[in-house]
Amino acid sequence: MIEFLSNHGGTLLRGFLWTIILVSGGFAIGSVLGALLAILLTSKNRIAGWLARSYVELIRNTPFLIQAMLLFALLGVMRMRFEPVLVGLVSVAIYSAAYMAEIIRGGLNSIPDGQREGARALAIGPFLQSRLIILPQLMPFVLPASVNLLATLCKESAFLAGVSVAELTFSGQVVITQTFLIFEVWAIIGILYLVLVLSIMALAGFLERQMAWLKPAR
């Protein structure tokens, strides 16, 4: 095992780091896009709301692997050459944006309208409303679902191996072709995914405890 790790541990570690980069970067971009989509979903503009809803339903009801492959194929048809890692990052962002839109929309709908009406009555501008009133109340609603989404993205990112993105699963496949140690390599990969997901859950638990004072009293 020591010889195996010395020879191939670097390959698996690089794949593990790329998985973290792809998931965290795609989730961050997707969160921003999801917030914009949530605004459109809750807007009174029917056309904007319909377009946002169509995007959300399309992405949420099709497999992530198919989306990544279609994006990869589309870029090929358009004669546009991008690094597979960039295609993977965009795929994760597109996928997470649809789910974050629904998460944020649900959080916004959980905030009573009286909060916004009171802020307008006090002549508080939209920016201060969002920062001082909406966002603090939104976080306790959004955080648990967001963490579940992030954990799901960590596992779904394994499908990016299908479009040659050098993340953890793809790196494991490379090592298997070199060593033929199928069980051992997949076991290590499974442990690394488990460590990643449990670390996210632990961080989420810490953040929830820090924000406990924001939750309304029962």
CATH number at residue 199: 1.10.3720.10
- Dist. CA 64–CA 163, nearest whole Å: 12
Dihedral sign computed on CA atoms, order 62, 64, 69, 70? positive
Distance between first and last Cα of the chain: 54
Amino acid at 216: P
Domain holding 95, by residue range, is: 2-214
Helices and strands (H and E) in the chain: how many: 9, 0
Q: Average pLDDT of the chain?
A: 84
Average pLDDT value for residue range 176-201: 92
Taking the CA atoms of 122, 126, 128 and 129 in sequence, report the sign of the dihedral they define. Answer: positive
> Considering only CA atoms, which of 85, 88, 186, 197 is closest in space to residue 151?
197
d(CA 44, CA 32): 21
Q: For 4-54, how does the pLDDT look when each residue is reduced to its tens digit (9 = 90+)?
A: 777 778 889 999 999 999 999 999 999 999 999 998 998 888 899 999 999
pLDDT value for 151: 92
What is the predicted pLDDT for the residue at 77? 85
- Structure confidence at residue 217 (pLDDT): 44
- C-alpha distances in Å from residue 64, one per residue of 94, 160, 163: 10, 9, 12
Mean pLDDT of 44-72: 92
Structure tokens at 110: 């959980």
Q: How is residue 154 written in tokens?
A: 């960590």
pLDDT tens, position by position, 108-141: 777 666 666 666 666 666 656 665 566 666 777 7
Report the pLDDT value the prediction gives residue 122, as an integer from 0 to 100. 60
Where residue 92 falls among pLDDT bands split at 50, 70, 90?
very high
The pLDDT value recorded for residue 218 is 43
Where is average pLDDT lowest: 1-5, 18-22, 88-92, 196-200?
Answer: 1-5
The number of folded domains in the chain is: 1
Stretch 189-204: mean pLDDT, rounded? 91
pLDDT at 99: 95
Q: What are the residues whose beta carbons fall under 8 Å from the beta carbon of 106, sequence distance 6 or more?
A: 141, 145
